[in-house]
Amino acid sequence: MTRPRHDSSDAQSQSTLEAKLKALQCHFTWDIDTRRAELFRLRDKLEDIGTEEGNSWLGHIYNLQGYIHCKLGLTDDARCFLNKATEAFRQSRNPVSDEGPWLVVNYGNLAWLHHQLGEQAESQTYLSKVDTLLKEYPSPSQDELHPEIYAEKAWTLMKFGKDKKVMVIDYFQRAIRMQPDMVEWNTSYVIALVNPYKYSAESVEGDIMEKMRMAKEHDAENLYLAVLELEQRARKGERIEDEARELARKVLENPVSSYSGIKVLLWIYSKHISLDRAIDLAEEALAKHPDERYLKWCAALCYEWRILSQNPVEQSKIDRAVSLHKEVISLYRDGSLLKKIYLANIYAKSNHGLPQAEKTYQELLTTELEPAEKQLLYHYYAKYLKSNRKDNNKAIEYHMKAAAIPQQSYFRKKSIKILKTFLSRNPGSPLCRKIEELLANLAV
């Protein structure tokens, strides 16, 4: 029996549609990590940024949330977020005009979502909308994407770790070169330059400090940028206590957000002023906003920093830390592995708390985790075994387990460094041969 011609035509049409979708510039075609643990972590991170009016990145936040929820199989939520993104872009970019180049990525995402839901007519509609926008608003620079696309791509990839830094910097530079008057792009570009130095032992270089100073002048209301700049100056030995106090007052007056600067400010207090003053500031913020989970997490971190410092800590602070961590773990749903590890480490510092710490770690070790999560857990468990149980040999075995997982990360590098140090200091240990074989196989 001869197959009807329209079957071939339908297949060709479907193939053309898929080719057009793959050619789009949107979250579905960018190099984005789609491991479930990473998606859950990002979902929580974006929720903590907040969605108050006036946030110039609101459309981008909703756009990325839409993509994340689609990848998690939550398609109704994905549709809701992408529609919110459309509205947020329209309100923030140009209230006079409904459409502009800022919607290209959003419409691309909607084309993909409808395609994956089997709604091909709707998918084709959004593909046509993208084509229209690209014709009406061509890029100012030939052979380059529109600056709005570069800016959103850069902002998005900022959320996916340090290995994307080179691309993020390049995309922001391209966007700013074509459209230099976008203050929020310049600010986020500087934040991307500084992020790798945040909470690290290194300070930023002179030219980046100058860029920070200029960005701060142009975006004077951005407290997150102001706090980042203050942290760098504190590292260079400047007296910053009065400025920190003034910034704290401003931060506490603003809506709660992970971009309010509160977490970095608490870090400044803990490192350059006093750990106990950091705790006082975190508790003050919580008293003003008792239901904000992000502030509970910040407060929990402050207590953890205090407890894991070498100074004796009263049991009341440990009890408060345990209570906060338990509450935070319940509030962050799936993205709480690190928070559970911190809780175990706090238990270990408590009076008679080692059994509870061991129980928590054993529960985590028997949980089904992705390779990157296992690596993180093995590294922290190894440190706990050495510091709290004084079992150096077992600690080395877990550092070996962390190093053996083929996932490039900070924790793997640290574990490999610890293994190499052990080799040089313990040449007669029975573990040396195993370590040497492992490192040889890893070619490090």
Which residue bears the tokens 């960018």? 30
In the chain the first and final C-alpha atoms are separated, in Å, by: 63
Closest CA to 196 of 247, 155, 242, 162: 162
Which residues lie closer than 8 Å to 314 by C-beta, 6 or more apart?
Answer: none
For residues 330-355, average pLDDT: 90
Q: Please report which confidence band the pLDDT of residue 79 belongs to, taking 50, 70 and 90 as the band edges.
A: very high
For residues 254-271, average pLDDT: 94
For residues 321-334, average pLDDT: 93
pLDDT tens digits along 115-133:
999 999 999 999 999 999 9
Instruction: Give the pLDDT of residue 2.
Output: 44
Instruction: Give the pLDDT of residue 53.
Output: 65
For residues 295-310, average pLDDT: 94
Separation between Cα atoms, residue 165 and residue 177, nearest integer Å: 18
What are 389's two structure tokens?
């149980």
Contact 347, 353 (CB under 8 A): yes
Instruction: Give the pLDDT of residue 8.
Output: 54
Separation between Cα atoms, residue 12 and residue 237, nearest integer Å: 66
Which of 1-15, 38-52, 98-112, 430-444 bottoms out in mean pLDDT, i.e. has the lowest? 1-15
pLDDT of 43 strictly over 90: yes
Separation between Cα atoms, residue 287 and residue 307, nearest integer Å: 22
**264 vs 8, more confident:** 264
pLDDT of 199 strictly over 80: no
Residue 208 CB-density burial (10 A; 0-12 exposed, 13-18 middle, 19+ buried): middle
Query: pTM for the complete prediction?
Result: 0.90
pLDDT of 335 strictly over 80: no
Closest CA to 39 of 335, 371, 373: 335
For residues 332-350, average pLDDT: 90
pLDDT tens digits along 30-41:
988 888 888 999
Instruction: Give the pLDDT of residue 4.
Output: 47
Instruction: Give the pLDDT of residue 243.
Output: 96
pLDDT tens digits along 140-183:
988 899 999 999 999 999 998 778 899 999 999 999 999 999 99
**432 vs 203, more confident:** 432
Separation between Cα atoms, residue 198 and residue 347, nearest integer Å: 27
pLDDT of 56 strictly over 80: yes
Burial annotation 94-122 (CB, 10 A radius, 16+ → b, else e): eeeeebbbbbbbbbbbbbbbbbeeeeeee
pLDDT of 65 strictly over 70: yes
pLDDT of 114 strictly over 70: yes
Instruction: Give the pLDDT of residue 380.
Output: 97
Neighbours of 131 (CB within 10 A): 13
Domains of the chain, first to last: 15-149 (1.25.40.10), 368-444 (no CATH)
For residues 339-347, average pLDDT: 96
